[in-house]
């Protein structure tokens, strides 16, 4: 087996607990457009998908840009206050850099809020590359975002592993020929998906458990 020297991370739900701000932003949008909220489970199923794609799907009665504007008006005002790093993740990323791993971030989020989140915890300096939805025409689960990250890092697929919290992440990694690890704090993956034909290669219970795979 080729030794892994590259670790890619998703942002939302993997590095950063953005669950509350995403759910609240959607509920604000639903209240504004429809006059009522929707079940949280419906929102959680969309985790990992680009906002434009989800908006077109769940609120087809309005132009997507109008819905996005409503969503972001709440999201931007509350983002910094409602997010925090998952336990052990910052320590994991620091140690990866200490051990000379190449570290990348592959997210369906815009660079603006991604940077705000990373800056809150002074994390930007640990990433050798950051790929957002603005860097690619195709999005998870298409392999293009991961391939762009590998290209910029000068890494081969067999040298890399990606950590994510949704099937969009798992399939993106798999489609790019990269090992896929699901974090145990994921909300958007069902028990059946954890063991089905598209199951992740690994499930990581705690952040630092990644080293059990790498070593």
- For the four alpha carbons of 123, 8, 210 and 171, in that order, the dihedral sign comes to positive
* 88 and 58 together in one domain: no
Cβ atoms within 10 A of the Cβ of 124, count?
13
- Answer whether residue 151 is part of any domain: yes
- Answer whether residue 121 is part of any domain: yes
- Which one of 63, 82, 101 terminates a domain? 82
* 65 and 125 together in one domain: no
The predicted pLDDT at position 1 comes to: 61
CATH code of residue 78:
1.10.150
**DSSP conformation letters of 73-125:** HHHHHHHHHH-EEPTTHHHHHHHHHHTT-EEEEE-SS-HHHHHHHHHHTT-GG
Can you give the pLDDT of all 215 residues of the chain as single tens digits? Answer: 689 999 999 999 999 999 999 999 999 999 999 999 999 999 999 998 889 999 999 999 999 999 999 999 999 999 999 999 999 999 999 999 999 999 999 999 999 999 999 999 999 999 999 999 999 999 999 999 999 999 999 999 999 999 999 999 999 999 999 999 999 999 988 888 898 888 999 999 999 999 999 98
- Which one of 82, 101, 124 terminates a domain? 82
Q: How far is CA 1 from CA 29, 74, 158, 198, 213, in A?
A: 47, 47, 9, 21, 12
Task: Kindly compute the dihedral angle of the four CA atoms of residues 51, 141, 186, 110, in this order, to the nearest 10 degrees.
Answer: -40
Instruction: Give the predicted TM-score (pTM) of the model.
Output: 0.93
* 159 and 93 together in one domain: yes
Residues whose CB is less than 8 angstroms from the CB of residue 206 and which lie 6 or more positions away in sequence, other chains included: 87, 88, 184
* 159 and 64 together in one domain: no
Instruction: Specify whether the CB–CB gap between 80 and 120 falls below 8 A.
Output: yes
Please tell me the distance from the alpha carbon of residue 116 to that of residue 155, in angstroms, as a whole number. 27
The predicted pLDDT at position 191 comes to: 86
* 162 and 68 together in one domain: no
- Answer whether residue 1 is part of any domain: no
- Which one of 49, 65, 82 terminates a domain? 82
- Answer whether residue 100 is part of any domain: yes
Q: How far is CA 43 from CA 71, 119, 188, in A?
A: 13, 27, 9
Ranges assigned E (strand) in the chain: 6-9, 16-17, 84-85, 102-106, 129-131, 160-164, 179-183, 202-204
* 27 and 101 together in one domain: no
Q: Looking up tokens 């080729």, which residue turns up?
A: 2
Q: Would you give the distance in Å from CA 193 to the centre of its chain?
A: 17
Please tell me the distance from the alpha carbon of residue 29 to that of residue 86, in angstroms, as a whole number. 26
CATH code of residue 155:
3.40.50.1000
Residues whose CB is less than 8 angstroms from the CB of residue 75 and which lie 6 or more positions away in sequence, other chains included: 21, 22, 25, 113
* 51 and 146 together in one domain: no
Range(s) of the domain holding residue 40: 19-82
102: left (phi over 0), alpha (psi -120 to 50) or beta: beta
* 49 and 101 together in one domain: no
Residues annotated as catalytic (active site), given as ranges: 10
* 92 and 74 together in one domain: no
- Answer whether residue 150 is part of any domain: yes
H or E element in which residue 58 lies: helix 51-58
* 13 and 33 together in one domain: no
* 77 and 88 together in one domain: no
* 69 and 106 together in one domain: no
Looking at the 3D structure of the chain, how many domains does it have?
Answer: 2
β partners of residue 58: none
């Amino acid at each position: 087996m080729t030794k892994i020297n590259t670790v890619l991370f998703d942002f939302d739900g993997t590095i950063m607990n953005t669950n509350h701000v995403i759910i609240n932003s959607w509920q604000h949008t639903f209240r504004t457009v429809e006059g009522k909220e929707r079940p949280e489970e419906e929102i959680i199923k969309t985790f990992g998908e680009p906002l434009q794609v989800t908006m077109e799907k769940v609120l087809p009665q309005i132009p997507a840009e109008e819905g996005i504007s409503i969503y972001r008006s709440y999201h931007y005002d509350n983002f910094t206050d409602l997010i925090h790093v998952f336990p052990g993740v910052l320590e994991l990323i620091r140690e990866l850099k200490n051990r000379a791993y190449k570290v990348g971030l592959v997210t369906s989020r815009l660079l603006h809020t991604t940077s705000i989140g990373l800056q809150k915890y002074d994390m930007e300096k640990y990433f050798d590359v950051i790929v957002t939805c603005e860097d690619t025409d195709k999005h998870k689960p298409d392999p293009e975002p991961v391939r762009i990250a590998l290209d910029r890092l000068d890494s081969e697929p067999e040298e890399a592993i990606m950590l994510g919290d949704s099937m969009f992440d798992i399939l993106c990694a798999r489609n790019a020929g990269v090992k896929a690890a699901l974090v145990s704090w994921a909300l958007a993956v069902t028990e059946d998906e954890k063991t089905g034909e598209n199951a992740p290669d690994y499930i990581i219970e705690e952040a630092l458990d990644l080293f059990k795979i790498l070593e």
